[in-house]
Amino acid sequence: MEPNPGNSLLSAEDSGMGPNQGNSLLSAKDSRMEPNQGNSLLSEEDSICPPPEPEKKQLIVPDKDDEQCDGDRHSSECAYRIVPYKFEEVDGGEVEQGTHHFSVPFKRRRQRSLSIAAYAVQCATCKKWRLIPTKQKYEEFRAQIKKDPFTCELAHQWKPDVTCNDPSDVSQDGSWLWAMDQHNIPQPSPGFDRLIAIRCAGCTRFADVYYATPSGRKLRSSKEIENYLKENPDYAAQGVNLSQFSFKIPAPAQQDYVRKRPKTNGNDDSHKEPSKPLMEEG
DNA sequence: GCCACCGGTGGC
DNA sequence: GCCACCGGTGGC
């Protein structure tokens, strides 16, 4: 199978694709998923953030093949559903909601990272998306999805009657942001929690990965893991090793979410003003 | 003072 | 161009 060059991102509207072609990732407003327990990035405050009004904007559709699978009948994807911008006070006390400002640069300010609201995995057979009830379950599927592709049958653990004939768990309204996850991410070692901090739109990178150690320390690179394991040989003795950690970040389903770095050339006139105007001061 | 967030940069 | 790594710092 040929890898899909560049993980092309298409809108459902634009592509005119059928249900098995584009694997649309859409939001599921009426899905009563429990907030993922134990996901430290999803605070109570986050979970009560009111969902944005449904919009008919196109959903950006990941169209990525599993490049190491033998055929696409047996490939599937893992994805996060991300809460869009939280309600954010801007100068003058206005409140704006981010969804429709998705690609609009905003006044640069520090804000809490966006929350992952739900996890979804694609059925390798019908290509529909099934919401996964917990982060831990999602990590389990993700770790083995190449070897054991996810199918709707596996959702029987929490949704006994679901079959490939049922509609996708997520529906199309474009109210949520989505991120496509890497496949080859091992399940975190016992006691370690893998945290994804989704950055705001317009940042220079999409997300950061941290590992919280059993003692609560956050490690942010393989080198830090390595040092930590040296400092704490008990974990190594228990079989914890560097290969059980991955700092691969997910990819945004939306194009232009991440700000492109301006090219640096000898003539530096180009960097004197931002590529797009930032939000005006009040 | 701490730390989560963000950008810079070197290596590939 | 991408990514791993890490320094700087705003905000608490």
Say which nucleotide is closest to residue A208, CA to C1' distance: B5
Task: Return the exposure string of A121-143: e unless at least 16 CB atoms fall within 10 Å of the residue's CB, then b.
Answer: bbbbbbbbbbbbbbbbbbbebbb
Mean pLDDT value across residues A210-233: 93
Is the C-beta atom of A108 closer than 7 angstroms to strand B?
A: yes
* Residue with CA nearest C1' of nucleotide C11: A110
Say which nucleotide is closest to residue A248, CA to C1' distance: C3
Say which nucleotide is closest to residue A109, CA to C1' distance: C10
Using pLDDT thresholds of 50, 70 and 90, give the confidence band for residue A234. very high
Is the C-beta atom of A217 closer than 7 angstroms to strand B?
A: no
* pTM for this entry: 0.66
Rounded distance in angstroms from the CA atom of residue A227 to the C1' atom of nucleotide C1: 30
Q: What is the DSSP letter of A273?
A: S
Is the C-beta atom of A271 closer than 7 angstroms to strand B?
A: no
Tokens coding A250: 């997910």
Of A208, A210, A219, give the one whose Cα is nearest residue A250: A208
Is the C-beta atom of A264 closer than 7 angstroms to strand C?
A: no
Listed as ranges, the nucleotides of chain C within 7 A of a protein C-beta are 1, 4-6, 10-11
Using pLDDT thresholds of 50, 70 and 90, give the confidence band for residue A6. very low
Listed as ranges, the nucleotides of chain B within 7 A of a protein C-beta are 3-9
Give the C-alpha separation, A196 to A207, whole Å: 7
Instruction: Please state, for a pLDDT cut of 90, what percent of chain A lies above it.
Output: 32
* Residue with CA nearest C1' of nucleotide C9: A110
Mean pLDDT value across residues A117-122: 88
Q: Is the pLDDT of residue A66 over 80?
A: no
Number of neighbours of residue A281 by Cβ within 10 angstroms: 8
Is the C-beta atom of A110 closer than 7 angstroms to strand B?
A: yes
Give the C-alpha separation, A188 to A34, whole Å: 22
Range with the lowest mean pLDDT among A48-57, A174-183, A199-208? A48-57
Is the C-beta atom of A205 closer than 7 angstroms to strand C?
A: yes
Rounded distance in angstroms from the CA atom of residue A156 to the C1' atom of nucleotide C9: 48
* Residue with CA nearest C1' of nucleotide C10: A110
Q: Could you tell me how many helices (H) and strands (E) chain A has, helices first?
A: 5, 12
**Cβ atoms of residues A188 and A112 within 8 Å:** no
Rounded distance in angstroms from the CA atom of residue A160 to the C1' atom of nucleotide B5: 41
Say which nucleotide is closest to residue A220, CA to C1' distance: C5
Q: Is the pLDDT of residue A205 over 80?
A: yes
Rounded distance in angstroms from the CA atom of residue A62 to the C1' atom of nucleotide B5: 27
